[in-house]
Amino acid sequence: MTDIAYAMGGFGGGGGGGGDISFIIMMVVVFAIFYFLMIRPQQQKQKEIKKMRESLTHGDMVVTVGGIHGKVTALTDTVVTLEIAEKVKIKVSREYIGTVTQKAA
């Protein structure tokens, strides 16, 4: 009965000694692939969005994350005031500005 256990491996010190090292190497390779294909591009995109939100100026045409188009009329550190129609202004948190469609001239 013990002959079958030895033939299956896992018991005793005979087989599979290098398995731990190859597993660690494989996990490092998988993490590197995830980092370069998913994590790093997302970090770069977040940096671009942050830079865009910090560079907003009076007169920029923007689109909010919710799809509201407007013109920047006032800015604070956290709030952007948008004119969405003539004499209609709304305040939006700066973090909800999605894109700048046209920079002020």
State the average pLDDT over residues 97-102.
Answer: 94
Structural domain boundaries, residue 42: 17-54
Q: Give the Å distances, CA to CA, from 102 to 55, 69, 72, 87, 95.
A: 13, 11, 11, 20, 18
Between 21 and 13, name the one with better pLDDT. Answer: 21
Based on the fold, state whether residues 45 and 67 are members of the same structural domain: no
Q: What is the pLDDT of residues 40-87, one digit of tens each?
A: 999 999 999 999 999 999 999 999 999 999 999 999 999 999 999 999
Q: The domain that contains 97 carries what CATH number? A: 2.30.30.60
Q: Is residue 73 included in any domain, yes or no?
A: yes
- Could you tell me where the DSSP H helices lie in the chain? 2-8, 19-34, 40-54
Burial of residue 83 (number of CB atoms within 10 Å: 0-12, 13-18, 19+): middle
